Amino acid sequence: MASHEPRARRAARPKRPGTPPLAEYRRKRDFARTTEPSGAAAGTRKRPRPLSFVIQKHRASHLHYDLRLEWDGVLLSWAVPKGPSLDPSVKRLAMAVEDHPLEYADFEGVIPEGEYGGGTVMVWDRGTYTPEDADMGPAVAKGALKFSLHGEKLQGSWALVRTGRRGAETSRSWLLIKHRDAAASTHDIVTEAPRSVKTGRLLAEIAIDEGGDVTKAATGDPPDAIQSLLQDPTRLQRRRRRKRAVWHSNAGAS
Ligand code: MN
């Protein structure tokens, strides 16, 4: 499976030279237990097309927003505890995490408790993005990315800047910052637009539909949204289950 590498890749990956793509991603997960994609189908696509991005709201041990940018056949990933801010004066911490497979961008559901990242995952925003540099590789290595998002919630120009001393290869801390442009505002986007762009669901509704920990998931939703759900349960946004969804009947799991 690792032997299809000789094909020249689109760009060098200066981030972790010598490491097979997705090795860390796969090492952390048991694909017999989680419905997250294994990335087996990952690879560079030959057809030129816009690069995709996704932000997944993830109520794991802590709530965070995973920002993922497609580059060189994988999704470069950062965990943003407070989520993005449209206010250019606000810098949001973004911790670099392992690359994810491209198929991960479509993942919404429940990771079983006890597994890596156990909790509820929502596709909070998605779309395409345009990097300012034609080759993102050197920009990632340098720790300074500029890009424009064309999402359903997020638009306009953004920056990701690595913090810490220059040349500090080990620093996983970055800052996510909105540039000043027409899409900048002081609206609290994470509170005002809390639902999935894929299914319209809140975290609690995803957990209800897919056998997750509803109480835990609900702590990631805005309290007033949960209140109106409790007052009128018919508002539950349900969606047809995908045929290939796997159900984990974790008996006894909280
Ligand atoms: Mn996460």
Residue 59 lies in a domain: yes
- 29 domain residue, yes or no: yes
Q: What is the whole-number distance in angstroms between the Cα of residue 110 and the centre of ligand 1?
A: 12
- Average pLDDT of the chain, as a whole number: 85
pLDDT in tens, 51-89: 999 999 999 999 999 999 999 999 999 999 999 999 999
In a domain, 249, yes or no: no
Residues 81 and 188 in one domain: yes
**Domain with 228 in it:** 203-241
- Encoding tokens for residue 45? 């696509």
| Residue 197 predicted with pLDDT over 50 | yes
Is 251 among the domain residues?
no
For residue 171, what pLDDT band results from cuts at 50, 70 and 90? Answer: confident
My answer on whether 54 and 159 are in the same domain is yes
**210 C-alpha to center of ligand 1: Å?**
18
The model's pLDDT over 149-163, given as tens digits with 9 standing for 90+, comes to 999 999 999 999 999
The helix/strand/coil state of 111 is: strand
Assigned domain for 253 exists: no
Residue 95 and residue 127 share a domain: yes
Q: Are residues 149 and 217 in the same domain?
A: no
Average pLDDT over residues 4-9: 42
Could you give the residue ranges of the DSSP H alpha helices within the chain? 23-27, 136-142, 189-192, 203-209, 214-218, 223-231
Domain contains 252: no
> Do 188 and 211 have their domain in common?
no
* Ligand 1 centroid to residue 233 C-alpha, Å: 28
State pLDDT tens for residues 211-252: 999 999 999 999 999 988 888 777 665 544 444 444 444 444
Q: Which residue has the higher pLDDT, 137 or 206?
A: 206
CA of 101 to the centre of ligand 1 (A): 14
Output the CA 229–ligand 1 centroid distance in Å: 25
Per-residue buried b or exposed e for 4-29, using 16+ beta carbons within 10 Å of the residue's own CB: eeeeeeebebeeeeeeebbeebbeeb
Claim to verify: residue 102 and residue 218 sit in the same structural domain: no
Same domain, 163 and 64: yes
Residue 45 confidence (pLDDT): 56
Q: Are residues 13 and 98 in the same domain?
A: yes
Q: Looking at the structure, tell me whether residues 125 and 215 fall in a common domain.
A: no
* Structural domain contains residue 250: no
Query: Same structural domain for residues 183 and 226?
Result: no
This model's pTM is above 0.85: no
Q: What is the pLDDT of residues 92-140, one digit of tens each?
A: 999 999 999 999 999 999 999 999 999 999 999 999 999 998 888 899 9
Number of domains in the chain: 2
On whether the CB atoms of residues 87 and 183 are closer than 8 A, the answer is no
Contact 149, 182 (CB under 8 A): no
C-alpha–C-alpha distance, residues 146 and 165, integer Å: 20
CA of 66 to the centre of ligand 1 (A): 5
Q: Domain check: are 141 and 220 in the same one?
A: no
Does residue 188 sit in the same domain as residue 210? no
248 located within any domain:
no
